[in-house]
Amino acid sequence: SSSQQLEMVDEIAYPKKAKPGMQQGVAFFSLMRNLTASGFYTTEIGIKDLGFVGNVPNVWDGVPADVLKQYGMENV
């Protein structure tokens, strides 16, 4: 049943809460979770989900006026 499946997942999904006898299941679940996340976030849709735009140059407008004023350099 789905409740039994969720119970099993709960036993292996949280390594710090897992019982000592469940370590093999914990290791397997962690590996599958990591591979699934890595697979998703390296796809086009995963990259869009992250909002990653790639390596793009920043716009540099110089030192902000308040910082120049803070150091007494507003007229330099």
What radius of gyration, in Å, describes the C-alpha atoms of the chain? Answer: 25
* 26/20 Cα distance (integer angstroms): 10
Q: What's the total number of domains in the chain?
A: 1
pLDDT digits 0-9 by tens, 41-57: 999 999 999 998 888 88
Q: How does residue 18 score in pLDDT terms, banded at 50, 70 and 90? A: very high
In a domain, 76, yes or no: no
Query: What average pLDDT does range 26-42 have in this prediction?
Result: 96
Within a domain: 48: yes
pTM as predicted: 0.62
Residues 40, 36: Cα–Cα separation, whole Å: 6
The answer to whether residue 75 is domain-embedded is no
The answer to whether residue 28 is domain-embedded is: yes
In a domain, 42, yes or no: yes
The parent domain of residue 58 ranges over 2-70
